[in-house]
């Protein structure tokens, strides 16, 4: 912190305080002199009037009036008021010395005269006035001692030369001591005022510097709070976005709205991890850059290239002096720039680039806060990639499951000897022998179909609705209408019926599969029990052929061992229905 030089304190600060102090002392001295002169005026004027000394009365009156004006009218220049005070003290001392000699109170008035002159006019003026007063004392002493005082009509004073000398010497000693003491006191006071003023200035300077630091810190805290609020908003907003492009646009819109930077952009690495490609931007210039296919080579071009290569944030406080900064013709007003890595896990996949028109618009503390925004983008991208992978996996599982369901229904229908459908017509229920040709199309497309035709009886509407089991079309419901079209209520009712039929069919198929599997398990268990009951090879072969034939109901079963005389022969299982 810079401090004011001592010379400037001496010349510009202390005199102002000394002047104010002198003004206070002057005003009080005028009051004291005015009161003292007013009290002594009546007595002195009366004595002079009795002695018919009219000239001194006139002089005292004029001096008192001037002093009164100086006390009552404070707008007068300070020099005039000082002159009134000094002249009053000098006149009172001179008259007192003239009429009473060295035995009166003249020495007090003259002492006050010298001290006031020292205080208000300075040391040199006080010494000059002191010489004049000493000369006046000598002249008045000579007048008294030579008898000239009687010629002036003034009663002589009985004071020998020794008395004059003794009184004068004593007065000189007192004046000398007081002037010396006053000089020391004035210097100490002057020095104290200098120190006080210097201390005051230092405190004021420190307070001003502290206020500046507080203001700067307040702005930084306010800015960091805004950054954190934006990070929170981005975290909330981008969690709702479905794709990366929308996510990027939403994040940059929030940055532009709340932070108001000149330009903000999001880069992502290409598949070869060689270039950082601009994917989204907040400025119009950034949109033109996207249209132009703007990209920066990893580790070789610009701050963004540095960040995606090193995986650490970088600031260019003054882009004109930063060797790494890429001078972009689309953004000529950029003066400072910051780029922060965007990570998915531990891998750097891009960078958040922010540019400002102000020099040194970013600080090291900004990195931590702005990195939070970049990390939010990375988390959102990672979550989006995970969701996409889960969706792909779920789609694949659903496709495979539907294939399994389709295959199981084919096997079930191929093995089943039951009718594959029924038709309700003319209040009768009959099995379907030849399904309509549209059935295959409806099952393949798995979408409802409405056909309209006309005949002699009027307009006919045929509605085909797929029956879905686990999302796979396994059948069709066909409904014919005469007259008007199919209403929305009827369509919703038939759709609900198709869903219920599909669910019931799938449950019934699964139940039959479980029942068939249970029966097979039971047959296998019974067959195993009977075969194991035999105790020799021949008995086991007999029991196996007999039980398999009975269980399966086939026309022939052959169970035999290998024939060693036939090379390469294999066991010949025989089963013929």
Q: Is the pLDDT of residue 318 over 80?
A: yes
What average pLDDT score do residues 543-572 get?
A: 71
Q: How many CB atoms lie within 10 A of CB 156?
A: 13
User: Regarding predicted confidence, which is higher, 96 or 9?
Assistant: 96
Beta-carbon contacts of residue 431 (< 8 Å; ≥ 6 apart): 419, 421, 422, 423
Residue 95 pLDDT exceeds 70: yes
When pLDDT is averaged across residues 1-13 and rounded to a whole number, the result is 37
Q: For the chain, give every domain's residue range.
A: 6-204, 244-389, 454-514, 520-562+571-576
Buried b (16+ CB within 10 A) or exposed e, 86-121: bebbbbbbbbbbbbebbebebbbbbbbbbbbbbbbb
- pLDDT 10s digits, 161-194: 888 888 888 888 888 888 888 778 778 877 887 8
* CATH dotted code for 244-389: 3.30.450.40
Tell me the pLDDT tens digit for each residue of 231-281: 777 777 666 665 778 888 888 888 888 777 889 999 999 888 899 999 999
**Residue 310 belongs to what H/E stretch?**
helix 302-310
Tokens of 190: 């002057």
Backbone angles phi, psi at 52, to 5 degrees: 55, 40
Residues 6+ apart with CB under 8 A from 145: 161, 164
Above 90 in pLDDT, residue 417?
Answer: no
Closest CA to 549 of 558, 560, 540, 541: 558
Residue with the bigger pLDDT between 297 and 76: it is: 297
Checking if the pLDDT of 4 tops 60, the result is no
Which pair of tokens denotes residue 114? 């010298």
> Per residue in 367-379, pLDDT tens?
887 888 888 888 8
| Count of C-beta atoms within a 10 Å radius of residue 302 | 24
Distance in angstroms (rounded) separating the CA atoms of residues 502 and 466: 9
CA atoms within 13 A on the CB side of 426: 1
User: Is the pLDDT assigned to residue 114 strictly greater than 60?
Assistant: yes
What are the residues whose beta carbons fall under 8 Å from the beta carbon of 342, sequence distance 6 or more? Answer: 266, 268, 348, 349, 350, 351, 352, 374, 375, 377, 378, 381
Residues 160 and 168: their CA atoms lie apart, in Å, by 13
Query: What average pLDDT is seen over the chain?
Result: 79
Supply the angle between the helices 161-238 and 14-50 in degrees, to the nearest 10: 150
Per-position b or e across 166-198, b if 16+ CB within 10 A of its CB: ebbeebeeebeeebeebeeebeeebeebbeebb
Among left, alpha and beta (phi > 0; psi -120 to 50; other), residue 401 is alpha
Average pLDDT for 10-28: 60
């Amino acid at each position: 912190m810079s401090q004011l030089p001592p010379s400037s304190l001496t010349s510009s600060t202390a005199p102002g305080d000394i002047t104010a102090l002198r003004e206070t002392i002057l005003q009080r001295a005028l009051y004291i002199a005015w009161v003292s002169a007013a009290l002594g005026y009546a007595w002195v004027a009366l004595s002079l009037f009795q002695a018919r000394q009219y000239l001194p009365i006139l002089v005292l009156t004029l001096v008192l009036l001037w002093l009164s004006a100086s006390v009552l009218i404070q707008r007068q220049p300070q020099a005039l008021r000082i002159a009134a005070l000094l002249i009053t003290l000098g006149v009172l001392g001179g008259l007192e010395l003239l009429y009473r000699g060295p035995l009166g109170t003249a020495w007090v008035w003259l002492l006050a005269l010298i001290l006031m002159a020292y205080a208000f006019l300075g040391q040199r003026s006080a010494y000059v006035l002191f010489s004049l007063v000493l000369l006046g004392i000598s002249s008045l002493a000579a007048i008294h001692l030579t008898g000239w005082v009687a010629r002036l009509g003034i009663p002589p004073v009985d004071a020998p030369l020794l008395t004059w000398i003794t009184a004068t010497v004593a007065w000189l000693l007192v004046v000398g001591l007081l002037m010396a003491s006053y000089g020391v006191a004035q210097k100490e006071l002057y020095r104290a005022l200098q120190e006080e003023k210097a201390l005051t200035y230092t405190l004021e300077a420190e307070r001003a510097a502290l206020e500046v630091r507080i203001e700067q810190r307040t702005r930084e805290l306010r800015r960091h709070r805004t950054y954190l609020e934006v990070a929170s908003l981005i975290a909330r907003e981008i969690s709702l976005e479905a794709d990366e492009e929308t996510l990027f646009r939403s994040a940059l819109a929030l940055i532009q709205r709340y932070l108001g930077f000149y330009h903000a952009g999001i880069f992502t690495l290409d598949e070869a991890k060689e270039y950082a490609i601009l994917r989204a931007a907040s400025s119009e210039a950034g949109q033109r850059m996207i249209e132009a296919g703007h990209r920066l080579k990893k580790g070789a071009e610009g701050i963004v290239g540095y960040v995606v290569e090193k995986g650490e944030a970088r600031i260019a406080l003054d882009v004109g002096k930063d060797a790494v900064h890429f001078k972009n013709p689309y953004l000529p007003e950029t003066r400072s720039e910051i780029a922060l890595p965007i990570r998915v896990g531990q891998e750097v996949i891009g960078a958040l680039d922010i540019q400002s028109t102000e020099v040194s618009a970013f600080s090291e503390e900004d990195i931590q806060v702005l990195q939070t925004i970049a990390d939010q983008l990375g988390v959102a991208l990672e979550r989006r990639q995970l969701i996409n992978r889960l969706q792909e996996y779920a789609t694949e599982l659903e496709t495979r499951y539907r294939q399994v369901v389709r295959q199981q229904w084919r096997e079930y229908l191929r093995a089943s000897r039951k009718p594959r459908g029924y038709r309700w017509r003319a209040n009768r229920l009959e099995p379907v022998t030849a399904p309509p040709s549209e059935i295959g199309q409806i099952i393949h497309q798995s979408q409802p179909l409405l056909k309209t035709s006309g005949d002699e009886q009027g307009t006919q509407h045929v509605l085909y609705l797929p029956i879905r089991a686990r999302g796979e079309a396994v059948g069709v419901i066909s409904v014919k209408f005469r007259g008007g079209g199919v209403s929305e209520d009827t369509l919703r009712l038939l759709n609900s019926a198709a869903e219920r039929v599909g669910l019931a069919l799938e449950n019934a198929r699964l139940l039959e599969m479980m029942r068939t599997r249970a029966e097979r398990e039971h047959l296998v268990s019974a067959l195993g029990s009977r075969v194991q009951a035999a105790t020799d090879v021949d008995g086991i072969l007999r029991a196996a052929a007999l039980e398999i034939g009975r269980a399966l109901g086939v026309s022939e079963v052959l169970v035999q061992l290998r024939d060693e005389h036939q090379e390469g022969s294999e066991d010949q299982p025989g089963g013929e229905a």
